[in-house]
Amino acid sequence: MITQGMKVTTRCDDCGGVLIRDIGQFIDRGQVWWGTEGRCLTCPTAWCEQDSGGTTPEEIRQALLTEHGPARLRLAGSESSLVPVLHALRETHGLSLAQARAMADELRTTGLVGTLVEMEHVAAGLRRRSVAATVEPAAD
């Protein structure tokens, strides 16, 4: 399972104490999941939330990108056929054909950039379609 997470310390809104939040993304059963849980060290405030599919909340994405840096997905072979790439992008992102073509163009030129989990999810979809892909840290 591909996963990426971090701990964030903030102030508790209920009592002003120290609130510890665990946030992250992971791939399970072919989907990107996100989760957040928190607990106050002083009062009983605590929660746990997770979801799959759709979009990870931007607050979680940005925290992961800040902590771990972005990842870049690239096609490993320059000879990849466009058809399996389009199929993979449409399956993993639920895109229209026009949207998938635009994303495929980006993938073929500069590569796609996102969190490690997001890029590994797309890479897995490409590999299922026999398209070689690599995920690496994105250069600044």
pLDDT single digits (tens) 82-134:
999 999 999 988 899 999 999 999 999 999 999 999 999 999 999 999 999 99
Q: Which residue has the tokens 């102030």?
A: 11
Res 40: pLDDT: 97
Res 68: pLDDT: 95
Supply the pTM of this predicted model: 0.88
Res 78: pLDDT: 66
- Residue 41 and residue 82 in one domain: no
pLDDT single digits (tens) 23-69:
999 998 888 999 999 999 999 999 999 898 678 999 999 999 999 99
- Residue 48 and residue 87 in one domain: no
Domain extent for 94: 71-137
- Residue 49 and residue 95 in one domain: no
What CATH code is carried by the domain that includes residue 81?
3.30.1390.10
Domain count, the chain: 2
Q: Which of 68, 92, 112 marks a domain boundary?
A: 68
Cα–Cα distance measured from residue 69 to residue 140, given in angstroms and rounded to the nearest whole number: 9
- In a 13 Å sphere around the CA of 105, the CA atoms on its Cβ side amount to 5
AA identity, residue 73: L
Q: Which of 29, 51, 68 marks a domain boundary?
A: 68
- Residue 78 and residue 45 in one domain: no
